[in-house]
Amino acid sequence: LSLKVRDLPQPMSTFSFDDIPDPKENFDKDTIKRVYEETDPTPYYSESVNKQNHFMLSTYIPFCRTLQVSPFPLEAKTVTAYLRWLAKYRNYKLSTLNTTIAFALTRINTAVTHQRVDPYVGAAMRGMLVRLYQDPTTRKPGEGMAPLILCDVKRVIEAMLDTDPKKIFWASLFLFAEATGSRASTCLNIRVSDISRIISHDDGSVAVTIIRRVIKGQGSYAYEPVTLAGSLIEKSSINFIYWFALRLKELKLNSIEEAVQVGKSDSKIARKRIWNTSTDSFTRGIKHRMIMAGLDSKGFGSHSFRAGMLGNIIMNYREAKGPLQSAIDLACLIGNWRRSSQVVDNYFKSETKAG
């Protein structure tokens, strides 16, 4: 097979648009010009994203003014020094730098300059984050991330009145977060189409597989399945399947089986988020309901469910006199974390560690 030069795709610069004929129908030039002038090209950001942007700019702009450097476009030296300053001298958590600050920096840079971040700058940012993670002086312990152990979640759910119109919403959300160790952003991104499979038994017990969309570093995601089991007929404060089925009924889905079938379509309800709220509302909801249950809400937040999942696993292994490393391995499998004891330091309360 031989190809001649004229057979190959030509670059856009070689095309001529002069031979494109005018359309047969009349174009209303005044309307086109008016639409063009009235169109607002400003990017739309959600409330939570705008909060992230403001959170970053409130420190980044004064940092650049102090150095008398231009904040945008991003420069490798400036942005890496900024990340290091936040970690070492402002006590920012590395997870905040990675999932909030870095995203906001690149997002605002694109909005201001109308260009993507220079690849060299992006590589410099990733390199600084890696070095900060490796530096023991910037790798903070899990302060303020006290775990919501399953018994705490049970107490919170039981404290909610059955007449509370939001009880089903919060009970199903709390149990999913605790059982899977998922962050708030992961939980709140679950859609009906993510319910991929259900296995049912005659006694009412079922196992449901749900696909999680998990952030993996800056700008990348991974789709991870997690399977949860329970009973459709047992009304228990810690039975996720029971509360999950009720939550789906609130979304006009009569059963989990129907949700699986609807999720395979491209309908509007298939794209609907199961727990449609913001991360801030999630954290406020936790604290408010912990107070109502008589628990101290200080130090608890959306990451407390990740710590709680690990805490429950380790305590169960300790009661069974099993090896601690096996508990950590299981937690890493569920949470898709690296198999490292550092997970314990980051997400497990020191007074409940197995010795």
Q: What is the pLDDT of residues 252-299, one digit of tens each?
A: 999 999 999 999 888 899 999 999 988 888 888 888 998 998 888 777
pLDDT confidence bin for 344, thresholds 50/70/90: low
- Whole-prediction pTM: 0.60
User: What is the reported pLDDT for 194?
Assistant: 93
Structure tokens at 83: 């990340």
213 sits in which H/E element: strand 205-215
Q: How far apart are CA 134 and CA 305, in angstroms?
A: 25
How would residue 347 be classed by pLDDT, with cut points 50, 70 and 90? low
> Which residue is it, tokens 């702009």?
61
Q: pLDDT, tens digit, for every residue of 151-184?
A: 889 999 999 999 999 999 999 999 998 888 887 8
The residue with greater pLDDT, 275 or 300, is 275
Mean pLDDT for 119-125 is 91
Give the sign of the dihedral formed by CA 163, CA 165, CA 170, CA 172: positive
Tens digits of per-residue pLDDT, 67-110?
Answer: 999 999 999 999 999 999 998 888 887 778 887 888 889 989 98
Burial 42-57 (b: 16+ CB within 10 A, else e): eeeeeeeeebbbeebe
CA-closest candidate to residue 245, choices 257, 235, 255, 233 = 255
Angle at 329 between CA 323 and CA 330, to 5 degrees: 95
- Does residue 199 register a pLDDT over 70? yes
8 A C-beta contact, residue 343 and residue 328: yes
Rounded CA-CA distance 78/59 in Å is: 13
Place of tokens 């407390």: 304
